[in-house]
């Protein structure tokens, strides 16, 4: 499986707690922070739930 480079581009202020928890679970704590994860089905599903808040690239 490949790797995903996930970068937060929108704020999580005034977002549902579930989306905030998903960001935290991915390891993203602040704006413009980038994390790299394996493209497992679990990670891809989490990214799909917050795709409006992040930019995803293949790494």
Indicate the average pLDDT of the chain.
96
Tokens standing for residue 44: 């891809």
Print the domain residue range for 17.
3-58
CA distance 1 to 23: 22
How are the residues of the chain apportioned to helix, strand and coil, as percentages rounded to the nearest 5? 30, 25, 40
pLDDT for 19 equals: 97
Beta bridge partners, 42, equal: none
Q: What is the CATH number of the domain that holds 53?
A: 3.30.1390.20
- How many residues are present in the chain? 59
Tell me the pLDDT tens digit for each residue of 3-27.
Answer: 999 999 999 999 999 999 999 999 9
pLDDT for 55 equals: 98
């Amino acid at each position: 499986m490949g790797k995903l480079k996930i970068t937060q581009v929108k704020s999580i202020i005034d977002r549902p707690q579930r989306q905030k928890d998903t960001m935290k679970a991915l390891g993203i704590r602040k704006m413009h922070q980038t994390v790299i994860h394996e493209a497992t089905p679990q990670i891809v599903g989490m990214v799909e739930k917050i795709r409006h808040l992040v930019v995803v690239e293949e790494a």
